[in-house]
A and B are shown apart, each in its own frame.
Chain A
């Protein structure tokens, strides 16, 4: 038992030592550039927990607590008005700029949705890191569906802990208005995303 405890302790110490080494290595290997500073090397609890291969297991209790905290932290849009302008949403989905040190910090960030997802089925230049969202509007606009989608965009970990999708709302990447526009791009019957749905 003592040997087991000792082995476990040593394992945890060396494991956390390598993890600490990674942060220290980055701090001595990187430099501030324009508005992007070394602060970005510091991770929050979620990032630390999720710094692992996709196939590696996460402690179920830690996952549950992350999921709950994420879900509870999602603010609802003013007047429960989830849908903005789909044309602006489409522009946000196609725009890959924002928060890189090569970007202009005075310009609005993009969502870069097409990097990972199919959206408008007529748009061929889409990525496959995430599932296809073509025809998303077929799911209908029940309050449950709107709230679920809103929460996924705001903080995906509310439903999928350690997903590689950015926390567009929680991390301040997109504004509330931008997220409403993206919602419209997904849900509006007249949006290109839903062009192939039979009315």
Chain B
């Protein structure tokens, strides 16, 4: 009798440990996140972003302080939470990266070719200007409800296009976004997969990007994440701020609408 209960006692912790690793990955990773507390290395990138906003650049030697992110020239607080949206001057729905590109070109006189030469950091880089600006601007929407524009017909078209792209199966593996993100309670290896077709999953995903990616030592944007998804889907390279990128972000943001922004987030 005694030996039997000893076996159970020694076996139980092993079983619980194994189960916690198997069942839902959240338990193990929540503990890991809790160890960080409020610390997020993104604080440095956020500071750099603010500096860049206030620094004169380009042939016109002008800062970005008059850039209109949708709430009026120079209004940064709350702007990220209301993107993507239609911009009259650009005549298209834009996400933050394409909007910043627009301001860099029209206010500062910089060239699209230069901006797209290095759209995202490579491993070992210290970070791009765009990543720093996105980190700082997203921080200024922390706690505010996600509220992308849907009043304009082009905004609604972007949503429809995003939804269509979400289910678009292609490439040698026949993958679509829905392959991984079209149902709840699934994981790939040990990485939990949010269901992006519903509010909760979309909110969890959209509210936490941009994010400091620990494994890369860099702040990564929502646009970058989608580009990397397409790479893993065996598809070609998604261009920063492109129509498809903006449409997919619109689809996510609308599905997530109402949830509070919590970016820059912290990810593995």
| Residues on A facing B (Cβ under 8 Å) | 18-19, 21-23, 25-26, 28-33, 36-38, 40-43, 46-48, 50-54, 99-102, 114-116, 124-129, 164, 166-167, 171-173
Contacts and interface: CB of A to CB of B under 8 A. Distances in A.
Most chain A C-beta atoms within 10 Å of own C-beta, residue among B22, B182, B186, B188 = B188
Contact of B176 (A28, A36, A51, A100): A51
A29 B239 contact: yes
Contacts of B234: 36, 40, 99-100
Contact of A50 (B174, B183, B186, B247): B174
Contacts of B187: 127-129
Interface stretch (B53-61, B76-84, B143-151, B162-170): B162-170
Contacts of A28: 242-244
Contacts of A43: 168-170
Given A40-B171, A47-B170, A171-B172, A126 B189 contact: yes
Interface in B172-208: 172-176, 178-180, 182-183, 185-190, 193, 197
Contact of B172 (A19, A41, A52, A99): A99
Contact of A127 (B161, B183, B188): B188
A171 B188 contact: no
Contacts of B170: 40-43, 47
B182 A18 contact: no
Contact of B182 (A21, A23, A29, A54): A54
Contacts of B245: 29
A133 B112 CA distance: 50
Given A40-B235, A53-B167, A116-B188, A29 B172 contact: no
Interface of B: 18, 21-22, 160-161, 164-165, 167-176, 178-180, 182-183, 185-190, 193, 197, 230-232, 234-239, 242-245, 247
B173 A50 contact: no
The 9 closest A-B pairs by CB, nearest first: A29-B242, A29-B244, A33-B237, A166-B173, A22-B164, A164-B179, A30-B236, A47-B169, A127-B188
Contacts of B164: 18-19, 21-22
A126 B187 CA distance: 8
A135 B244 CA distance: 43
B190 A26 contact: no
A104 to B, nearest CB: 14
B115 to A, nearest CB: 15
Nearest to B182: A54
A40 B236 CA distance: 7
Contacts of A173: 172-173
B161 A25 contact: yes
Given A18-B160, A26-B165, A47-B174, A37 B18 contact: no
A101 B168 CA distance: 19
Contacts of A47: 169-170, 174
Most chain B C-beta atoms within 10 Å of own C-beta, residue among A18, A30, A52, A124 = A30
